[in-house]
């Protein structure tokens, strides 16, 4: 990891006269002007990374910046100007997103441990999407939506049975506080599709952090998990339709670049 940090620094923040430079400005000059300690970011690097991701994804895919990565208002506004939405994990981050000028419908709420107060806050503002981490959370969202006379857009976070190699922190392959275990997928899908207050519009899969090999993530598309998820969506939709429960004909596998047409 130290070698990786050193290579990234050398690539984006070259030395000038043996002094670190950010955006072509020596950090010594910045320190003299703003004092220390200080944080400095290069918008050019942000643009380069965003543009590379945007070019790699089909136009129908939206890009969301996770506030937990860096909640600096200037950075949030920069990514909003580029056309990003924002991902939050708390009420505080929701307020941060609104303060940066993000409309509620361009915000998605992911992460475990959402409180009822947080869910009511975001639902009352018309948040774009909530990623459901458990069947209990789905029931809470449905109850609050019924009270507010709203319909909530939700995605179901799945903890895959298989484990992705190469990440600093692996999510799949074992029980975790993040998401619903793959083995419970059929049961939970049936329950969610039976709740008229919920509009199921996606599947969220996150197998690990700092996976730098794209082949590992792409491999997910060819595994048993993809086939199992597609089968479960088809079966749950058929059962929902047979019971006149609300169902949708299209589901997106978010964060992994896959799309299921069922």
pLDDT one-digit tens code per residue, 199-251: 998 888 877 777 777 777 777 655 655 656 665 665 556 555 555 554 443 33
> Does 61 reside within a domain?
no
121 versus 7: which is more confidently predicted? 121
Is residue 9 one of the residues assigned to a domain?
Answer: no
Query: What is the C-alpha separation between 56 and 40, in angstroms, rounded?
Result: 28
User: In the chain, how many domains are there?
Assistant: 1
The whole-angstrom separation of Cα 57 and Cα 100 is: 25
| 194 belongs to a structural domain | yes
Q: How far apart are CA 156 and CA 94, in angstroms?
A: 20
Q: What is the CATH number of the domain that holds 204?
A: 3.20.20.10
> Does residue 69 sit within a domain?
no
Report which of residues 165 and 151 the model is more confident about.
151
Residue 15 within any structural domain of the chain? no
For the stretch 86-112, what's the b/e string if a residue is b when 16 or more beta carbons lie within 10 angstroms of its beta carbon?
Answer: bbbbbbebbebbeebebeeebbbbbbe
CA atoms within 13 A on the CB side of 170: 13
d(CA 188, CA 231): 14
pLDDT of amino acid 249: 36
Q: How do residues 167-213 score in pLDDT, each as one tens digit?
A: 444 454 455 667 888 888 888 888 998 999 999 988 888 777 777 77
Domain enclosing residue 227, as ranges: 110-262
Q: Is residue 166 one of the residues assigned to a domain?
A: yes
Dist CA 137 CA 139 (whole Å): 5
Residue 89 lies in a domain: no
pTM of the entire predicted model: 0.80
In a domain, 71, yes or no: no
């Amino acid at each position: 990891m130290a070698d990786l940090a050193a290579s990234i620094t050398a690539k984006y923040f070259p030395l000038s006269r043996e002094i670190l430079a950010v955006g072509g400005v020596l950090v010594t000059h910045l320190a003299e002007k703003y004092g220390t300690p200080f944080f400095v970011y290069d918008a050019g690097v942000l643009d380069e990374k965003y543009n590379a991701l945007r070019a790699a994804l089909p136009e129908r895919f939206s890009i969301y910046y996770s506030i937990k990565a860096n909640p600096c208002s200037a950075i949030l506004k920069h990514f909003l100007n580029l056309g990003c939405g924002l991902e939050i994990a708390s009420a505080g981050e929701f307020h941060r997103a609104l303060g940066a000028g993000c409309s509620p419908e361009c915000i998605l709420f992911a992460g475990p441990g959402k409180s009822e107060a947080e869910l009511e806050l975001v639902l009352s503002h018309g948040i774009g999407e909530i990623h459901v981490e458990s069947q209990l959370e789905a029931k809470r969202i449905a109850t609050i939506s019924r009270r507010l006379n709203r319909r909530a857009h939700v995605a179901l976070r799945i903890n895959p049975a298989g484990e992705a190699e190469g990440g600093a922190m692996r999510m799949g392959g074992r029980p975790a506080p993040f998401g619903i275990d793959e083995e419970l997928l059929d049961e939970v899908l049936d329950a969610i599709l039976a709740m008229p207050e919920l509009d199921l519009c996606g599947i969220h899969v996150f197998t690990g952090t700092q996976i730098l090999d794209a082949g590992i993530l792409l491999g997910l598309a060819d595994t048993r998990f993809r086939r199992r998820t597609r089968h479960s969506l088809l079966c749950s939709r058929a059962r929902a339709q047979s019971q006149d429960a609300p169902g949708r004909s299209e589901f997106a596998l978010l964060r992994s670049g896959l799309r299921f047409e069922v």
